[in-house]
Structure 1
């Protein structure tokens, strides 16, 4: 007995279309962000109140009007267009597609998108929010889903044929709904698929990278592990052993590999498969491979696969007798004909290059296949294969560190993995404010992973280590219990605490800037602001730990409460920031930008709360103190003049008119510098300016001469002559037993002199301690001129 009546079939069929021309027109309309109409001139005024506006050139009797689509309609249209781009050419053309699941009139459910191809039918329900927010409960809806789907499948069978697989998809936009949530678990138990923002973005990138070949990866993701048909694929193969792993060597047609294969791209859309590792394809390279194949080219090297066996999808090998000269054996390998059963570890360009090739059905590709390798083993194999090929991107490398080093024997490597894991969790937690905003693996997004990783390295929320020892832990202000001996437990605990705390801080920022998203996105949810904000949180946490308001075990709610007044001070300062400070922050580029932002964030908080005055903030202020810099520059100039006077004077006394020949190598280098400076001045329009080579001495030159002629005296020393040792041997508290210790001050002086040479660069000055060092050296030089030091 038929499930649908003839009238129902006709009604629903009329709401679908496979007409290429009509679908193309609908596609163009849905790609636009506006609804568009053409109406009589006299109707325009009445439609303005409903949000319509005029656009384009008026026609003779008609006016073109448009209005922005609602976010609900926009999401449905975006997803409809995505399926069209994937190659679906049988789609609904009416939003009111009410599909029966029972015999009663009320037993119908509106399906937002219906997409059909030769093998599958997708039934898609769309849920969206204008702004990111926590998803509502779908408990009631999903509990009845199983019964509805049974009825829907009967209807689909009569509408589109019984040979097609049906998949129900819940697609969401701007809903924070974790894949670990009860609702998603209910959906997956009913064999539904959860299509969130990550999935949409990933498929969008698949389409851009893989073009028409994207459908294979898409179907593998949607129907992973499900049979294409019940007939197994039988191929001649050789079974062998490598280490403790069994592998198979065989050849297979590309059309089969395209359906069986799946690439574990490092993207949040594949988060359930973690660890994942692959990069997306390069479109130009894919196109070039296709042309190479069609022109008769071929690849003699093997594609590397891993068969991911499931309970009902297992490979089997029927062996013939083993040969007498080898442990390998020939036979027949039987492969389940199922979507995404074979993970492509290496060779995805070669496989997908065949997607549009004339040889897709006739060529065979050599394959080496393992089975049931853990994702971590696949990752290690991928890294080994690719270490001498194209470099892994910095973002992918940061993301992979979690899987590479989580169980490493060295503490510093495990902490690297912990930082990676925290960044991934911040960007991948669908209940968190940074969900989908951090570029992870191959995903592109608003925020880069690097400033998060850099800040976590230095901010103190995670401890620092060298080898197997923690460093800089006078009082542990991190969220990692450094006294714990159970590394596995503490790693997870520290990750969970850090992610929860940072999410809470970002949520606090969201709440404060609820009506001022521009400021939030200009200073906090912004790449240059990321390092500063997380570093400030770490600095505040250290301050609060030192005054015993929080410790490593403080719950996140109490920790946030302790931080809130300081964070609020920052937010209020940013909301009222003056134009000079704003221009200074936003105009700051290069490697120094992140430090400038961090120090200014600290400064904003300190202006409100004087008790928060960390040493690094004082240091930064001192380096901006122009009076201090002027004093330091004057002292450095005086010390350098004294060095030149004493060094050249002593050499002339010891070697007479041959003094310059004695230091010939240094003279030649100084003459070269002098000529180069003369050339620069000339090219800058300053004319010819003669420069004495002795004016080009650097502190390192003085140091070389002093070291070489340390105790040298002339044959007949004049009265009051002092050696370089007598002039320059100073004890600065780092020992005075050796020449190197006595001249250590020159190394510090050279460093400070170089810093002061960058006179026009802010934040590159000296702090008070460094200027006091120059005062001390200046005083010692004067003292040594009056009273010779013992040699």
Structure 2
């Protein structure tokens, strides 16, 4: 490399204060500038699409949103700047990879270097979630990588850094073939979830998040200049060899790794740790540095090692006779990510920015080469009596912990959890980033997905040691069932998502909620059962073929969601718990039965009869309350205020008055005790109150009995009092032969709520 070329390339990089200055710009989601008021330069910028932020006395501040690609590159650059890399590029640049022809170059979006590491990052982003094939680009990397590394080593001749190529993506799904191609060139994929994970980790740990990053990037590679010798005791516990020792926190931070349950670590399943809590970390840091505090309880770790090579225990010549334990010097692995923190991550990382990270020691119990599932069990046992493990995290752990169980019940638990994880984490899924995985709270819980799958016939029925009934997708093969159920649900829900269009992404929509997933999954189950019953599919039919047969039944469901009104939305949303799930499902069954009456919906008729009976009881109770408390009493009071003692004669229409008087007189002829005689006012019916209201409408009752939102409807007082007519119609139906519909009950509840608020 010529000196001129070296200088040209080195000019692409900045360090120290320049990084901090540029970081302040790159962290923003828009460009910002200011110009003199009225200047030609200002006018030119505004014509280019810049927008005015603030107009000051002599200056105007303007901004322009960064486009999607620049925004993502700046986000990635900013992450590595904040993680303490000391040399970074200003902007994207081209680096030669062929020393014979320096015109052959590779474009680098982000270049991040410290004393030991160089990261080469290519950034690719899309506005909406999409799938891309990077085969051509990765093939180029395969042939260019060696030349790029040689150029970097020539630029920084005094160092021998570890070099890693990263493909960073946003809103892009890459194929398993692309992932395999990355692995072949010792490269790694950072989807946006990984970028966000390290941002989150940085917000909790600060620059100490680098330890976790380096462990991920250079797992198994040697850490230079690490003194790995530790005085220790070797013992046995639970059939395992373990070591007990004290170590400086910084040493353990360098070799340690926390298996956070996060999308960034999904390729390392099973993972089990909660993300570190910033407030708790601050408290621990303050306790250590300001209060000179310490923690006598041990950090629990698992060391992954080839014991013949990088974990060596030198026993001391002076041992306690007949003791099971042995004392000596333990040689820890000098490798990144060789020690997994099972318990005590907050205690350890509390030292990460402490003045005492190299002068204090912390007690450690280190097990060796524990299977990952055994680490999960140990984590669960330790945390059993501490902060409760959330249901979603427990369900997620089951996916890994129980998969290889010989117990069929446990296998099915693992299967349901894996399906939930697949639906929530696969970019091709319509539920991507909408399902609570681990402790990430989202619209749909893994618990609800498990309930839906359990109540469907997809999985059949199992006992611990036998399959009682084969499912439509599960006949004993977990892997096949996992792929089939996942594919079928993803295709079916994607069909609905495409059909309802933007409704799917609206906040608070009626579909992407727990009961929505349950109801639609159960209706899919109904459709699959119908196809099985009619020999249109069987357990050997592929998931794709099952979907192709089912999708015709989804069109009425899509139309229902596209045309659903607020009353029905509120009715479905306000039904909670198990009854709410059932109501959602049964509502979809009713919709589907209108177009496909040949489908047998088990239990639907019985459900409707029960619901209708419950509706009747509630409806007639509300109507009685409306009639007696909010119409009869309120109207009488208003008439008395207006007409005094002659209120009944003057305020009631002649026909109603005469009929009431005759009816009262007829009843009173049969009554001997004068105190028990009937009052004409008590002889009125619900519809009579409407006639009284109409007679005195403008002067007394217009404001009182016009429903909110109907003040300007056409049809005058007749239209505005139609609600009383509708109530009367329902009131007069025979409760033994007529069933109040859910819509009618919602209408009655709405009237009741309105009148009760103004009473």
Q: Give the match for residue 71 of structure 2.
A: 74
Aligned twin of 2:222: 227
Q: Distance in 2 between matches of 1:59 and 1:564?
A: 60
Structure 2 equivalent of residue 33 of structure 1: 29
- Give the structure 2 partner of residue 478 of structure 1: 472
Alignment equivalent of 1:359, drawn from 338, 356, 362: 356
Q: Identify which of 296, 306, 310 aligns with 1:300.
A: 296
**Structure 1 107/361 Cα, relative in aligned 2: closer, same or farther at 3 Å?**
same
Match of 1:141 among 137, 148, 152: 137
Q: Tell whether 2:276 aligns with 1:289.
A: no
Please state if 1:207 is matched with 2:202: yes
Corresponding position of 2:484: 497
Distance in structure 2 (CA, Å) of the matches to 1:405 and 1:424 = 15
- Aligned residue for 2:524, secondary structure, equals helix
In 1: Cα distance, 2:59 partner to 2:221 partner: 54
**Local SS of the residue matching 1:595:** helix
Pairing 1:570–2:557 present: yes
Unaligned runs of 5+ in 2: 622-738, 746-759
Match of 1:254 among 238, 246, 249: 249
CA distance in 2, matches of 1:275, 1:622: 47
From 414, 418, 421, give the equivalent of 1:417.
Answer: 414
Specify which of 86, 89, 94 is matched with residue 92 of structure 1.
Answer: 89
2:315 counterpart residue number: 319
SS at match of 1:522: coil
Task: Give CA-to-partner distance per residue, 1:721-764, whole Å, 9 cap, x none.
Answer: xxxxxxxxxxxxxxxxxxxxxxxxxxxxxxxxxxxxxx99979x
Q: Give the 3-state SS of the residue equivalent to 1:56 in structure 2.
A: strand
Measured at CA, do residues 277 and 88 of structure 1 come closer, stay the same or move farther in structure 2, by a change above 3 Å?
A: same
User: Which residue of 1 is the match for residue 12 of structure 2?
Assistant: 15
Partner of 2:679: none
2:615/2:741 contact within 8 Å kept: no
Q: Where in structure 2 are the equivalents of 1:133-282 lying within 5 Å? A: 133-136=130-133, 138-160=134-156, 161-178=158-175, 181-229=176-224, 233-282=228-277
C-alpha separation in 1, matches of 2:493 and 2:465: 33
Say if 1:374 and 1:154 are closer, same or farther in 2 by CA, change over 3 A.
same
Q: CA deviation at 1:167?
A: 1.3
Report the Cα distance in structure 1 between the residues aligned to 2:430 and 2:617, rounded to whole angstroms.
Answer: 46
Per-residue deviation, 1:45: 6.4
1:605 pairs with 2:599:
no
Preserved CA contact (<8 Å) 1:15 1:97: no
2-side partners of 1:336 and 1:162: how far apart?
Answer: 23
Aligned to 1:55: 52
Question: How many pairs were matched up?
Answer: 624
Give the superposition deviation at 1:504. Answer: 1.3
Normalising to structure 2: TM-score of the pair? Answer: 0.75
Q: SS of the counterpart of 2:282?
A: helix
Q: Deviations over 1:243-285 (max 9, x none)?
A: 4322122221111001100011122322222111111122111
Q: 1:517 to 1:37 in 2, by over 3 A?
A: farther
Give the Cα–Cα distance (whole angstroms) in 2 for the partners of residues 515 and 445 of structure 1: 19
Tell me the CA shift for residue 548 of structure 1. Answer: 2.6
More deviation, 442-451/399-408: 442-451
Deviation string for 1:25-77 (max 9, x for gaps)?
A: 43232232223344565566665675x24222335665443332221111111
Distance in 2 between residues matched to 1:310 and 1:127, nearest whole Å: 38
Contact conserved, 2:233 with 2:243, CA < 8 A, in 1?
A: yes
Q: CA deviation at 1:534?
A: 2.1
| In structure 1, distance between residues paired with 2:324 and 2:570 | 72
The answer on whether the counterparts of 1:313 and 1:338 sit within 8 Å (CA) in structure 2 is no
Q: Greater CA deviation, 264-273 or 121-130? A: 264-273
Structure 1, residues 448-495: CA drift from partner, whole Å, max 9, x if none?
323222222223222244555667x5xx553112xx5xxxxx122211
CA 1:630/1:368 → structure 2, altered by over 3 Å: closer, same or farther? Answer: closer
Structure 1: distance between partners of 2:159 and 2:307: 25
Residue deviations 1:640-673, cap 9 Å, x none? xxxxxxxxxxxxxxxxxxxxxxxxxxxxxxxxxx
Partner residue of 2:397? Answer: 400
What is the CA distance between 1:169 and its match in structure 2?
0.7
Structure 1 residues 236, 7: CA separation in 2 closer, same or farther (over 3 Å shift)? same
| CA distance in 2: counterparts of 1:264 and 1:530, whole angstroms | 30
Question: Following TM superposition, by how much is the alpha carbon of 1:528 offset from its aligned partner in structure 2, in angstroms?
Answer: 4.5
Provide the TM-score with structure 1 as the length reference.
Answer: 0.73
Structure 1 unaligned runs (5+)?
485-489, 635-758, 766-791
How far the C-alpha of 1:517 sits from its partner, in A, is 5.0
CA distance in 1, matches of 2:202, 2:566: 43
Q: Residue 608 of structure 2 aligns with which residue?
A: 621
Matched-pair contact (CA < 8 Å) for 1:101–1:109: no
State the Cα distance separating 1:631 from its structure 2 match: 11
In structure 2, the CA distance between the partners of 1:41 and 1:266, relative to structure 1 (3 Å rule), is same
Residue 385 (str. 1) matches residue 382 (str. 2): yes
Name the CA distance, whole Å, in 1 between partners of 2:597 and 2:60: 64
The equivalent position to 1:548 in structure 2, one of 535, 541, 547, is 535
Please state if 1:106 is matched with 2:106: no
Shift of 1:591: 5.9
Q: How much has 1:610 moved relative to structure 2?
A: 2.1
8 Å contact kept, 1:319–1:331: yes
1:611-659 CA-partner distances (Å, limit 9, x unpaired)? 235134334433442697349999xxxxxxxxxxxxxxxxxxxxxxxxx
